[in-house]
Structure 1
């Protein structure tokens, strides 16, 4: 596996531009977690995304792709291979090309949340 801390920092940079619009729930050296200000029917805030270092990989969770699966219609097969479940992408090495795609997907997800009133 590549340097987990470096991979984590690269993935965290994808989420940090949205932090001023959301609540930073966790910001530790191995976990970064964002919620929106929108409160759901269960009285909990809407989850947006997170990055976490696990034992075997660094995971990037992006809830808008779960809420709006149509966001995944345009992702590349290479990024699709990194998916685990419906909203998680796992990485063991840095991949600038895939990180750029994930950045664009995150922006699209943010815009969908914004349009729907989830922010």
Structure 2
């Protein structure tokens, strides 16, 4: 077992709890991604909700609602902001239960925002 698998195993359920409102676009031992029900007319791609993936040296959690609604980042702790790469990606190299709980709350808030936007089913 890779040292990154426990991180993936801890983060995946944070997204899985929203699978009924989304479309599962990737489901493998190293990647789990959810898409919205919104398909962009311009290019036919499904708008992403987010997901988690094992990379070479860390596990990435993508939370797309914070890209669309950057005001959601304001209440985040400095410790979680430190894990950010780009505008909607959080990287982890070890299990950190308090940060995972905060990230879970952010994912839940993002699902609520996307539901309010009509991007996710109720």
Deviation at 1:5, TM superposition (A): 0.7
The structure with the greater share of residues assigned to helix is 1
Q: Which residue of 2 aligns with 1:26?
A: 26
Q: Hey, which bits of structure 1, 4+ residues long, moved more than 6 A?
A: none
Q: Which moved more, 1:18-27 or 1:55-64?
A: 18-27
Q: How does 1:29-68 map to 2 (within 5 A)?
A: 29-42=29-42, 43-68=44-69
1:80-118 deviation digits (Å, cap 9, x = unpaired)? 000000000000000000000000000110111011111
Deviation at 1:44, TM superposition (A): 1.9
Structure 2: 5+ residue stretches without partners: none
Deviation at 1:50, TM superposition (A): 1.2
Q: What CA distance in whole angstroms lies between the structure 2 residues aligned with 1:40 and 1:108?
A: 23
Question: Pairwise CA RMSD of aligned residues?
Answer: 1.1
Deviation at 1:20, TM superposition (A): 1.4
In the superposition, the TM-score normalised over structure 2's length comes to 0.93
Deviation at 1:40, TM superposition (A): 2.3
Q: How does 1:68-83 map to 2 (within 5 A)?
A: 68-83=69-84
Structure 1: 5+ residue stretches without partners: none
In the superposition, the TM-score normalised over structure 1's length comes to 0.95
Q: Which residue of 2 aligns with 1:102?
A: 103
